[in-house]
Amino acid sequence: MTTTQIVLASRPLGMPTLDNFKFAEMELPVVGDGEVMLESMYYSIDPYMRGRMNDEKSYTPPFQVGKPITGTIVASVAESQSPFYKKGDVVVGMLPWQKKMIAPEDDLQKINVAIAPPSYFLGLLGITGLTAYFGLLDIGKPQMGETVVISGAAGAVGIVAGQIAKLLGCRVVGIAGSDKKIKLLKDEFGFDDGINYKTSPDMAKAIAVACPDGVDVYFDNVGGAISDAVISHINFYARIVLCGQIALYNSTKVPTGPRIQPMLLTRSVLMQGFIVSNYKSQFPEAIQKLEQWLSEGKLKGTETMLRGFDALPKALIGLFSGNNTGKMIVEA
Ligand code: NAP
């Protein structure tokens, strides 16, 4: 049996292009003992995948040229040689960008599609939700009445982090790249205020207006000049959650910015980076909490869904132009 895969054709310099990806046909091996054959249903599209296109040492190894791109995928079991899975089960795992694949049983986790739509296990009930949860609660430690600013606020992680901060009684200000996104954050997701960074020529001033009491927690998904502006209004004993730096992922040179250390020092500010897998042992309890908030209507998921396997490269590139609101997903 053959299937289609997408391999890394070449490493990008700066913004990735469609030429960096290649579609290829491949023969599937037979399903061995302890393995299953899967049919992809939903592909998670994540900014960290851009880093894996570089030949750089990081917390995940780089993609190899000529080998398939991998990512988190929700798939259905088409054939099973495993006692743990039967045909029709829906699973999630770190899998190759292929329409069909053979996977070892140990690499998969069954998901309960009675709880939520399957794609939610890539977003709100997956790594996205966990990232927002641990970054905000463990590092941000927001207190009732504090001001929480979130960059990349209308993206997958930001929109969850903002909702959790609202649940905790904070004033939440989101930064995003269009008026439509800002309106959605305020009207649908309870954000108190929002700033469109693309139409705000003076971001520091915009932060001052939106945050008259300064910034107590900054959940940073973006970095660069946006973060420089937010940090210029950081309060004494504030917490800065370094979740992502997407503004820099396509940089070909290391950019320089203001030297922020004196300000962090004199205002006793904590700035901490994290990788969500640091919290792996606590995932089950966090997922339980996220499921509870979802079922109580306290958290809402939102997705941008592109259709068809061919849309995968375009979806990944689109993250860097703000083509998504909420979680970027490709449906098989
Ligand atoms: P996402 O926010 O859904 O998608 C990316 C969004 O970033 C875009 O929609 C775009 O929205 C914004 N963006 C793109 N380029 C930008 C730029 N140059 N300047 C400002 N904004 C830009 O992605 P996500 O999955 O939720 O991830 C958010 C961040 O968290 C990423 O940096 C990611 O790497 C990081 N992350 C970290 C962990 C961890 O373990 N630490 C885990 C998951 C994700 P606009 O329209 O607003 O520009």
Q: In this predicted model, what pLDDT tens digit does every residue of 146-172 receive, in sequence order?
A: 999 999 999 999 999 999 999 999 999
295 Cα to the center of ligand 1, angstroms: 26
The domain 2-123+301-331 having CATH identifier 3.90.180.10: the answer here is yes
Strand partners, 307: 331
Q: Determine the pLDDT at residue 48.
A: 97
Cα–Cα distances in angstroms (integers) from residue 139 to residues 81, 110, 116, 149, 288, in the given order: 43, 30, 28, 14, 20
Atom of ligand 1 nearest to the CA of 135: 41
Q: In this predicted model, what pLDDT tens digit does every residue of 259-291 receive, in sequence order?
A: 999 999 999 999 999 999 999 999 999 999 999
Residue pair 128/303 in contact by the 8 Å Cβ criterion:
no
245 Cα to the center of ligand 1, angstroms: 7
Q: Determine the pLDDT at residue 187.
A: 98
pLDDT(59) > 90: no
175 Cα to the center of ligand 1, angstroms: 11
pLDDT band at 67 (very low <50, low <70, confident <90, very high): very high
Q: Pairing state of beta strands 2-8 and 108-110?
A: unpaired
Atom of ligand 1 nearest to the CA of 325: 9
The domain 127-277 having CATH identifier 3.90.1150.10: the answer here is no
Identical topology for domains 2-123+301-331 and 127-277: no
pLDDT(244) > 90: yes
Q: Determine the pLDDT at residue 156.
A: 98
45 Cα to the center of ligand 1, angstroms: 11
Sequence ranges of the domains in the chain: 2-123+301-331, 127-277
Task: Tell me the pTM.
Answer: 0.98
Can you read off the two tokens belonging to residue 46? 């994540």
Q: Determine the pLDDT at residue 58.
A: 87
Supply the mean pLDDT for the chain.
97
Closest CA to 240 of 139, 134, 138: 139
Most ligand 1 atoms within 8 A of CB, residue of 59, 139, 150, 157 to mutate: 157
CA distance 282 to 80: 30
pLDDT(254) > 90: no
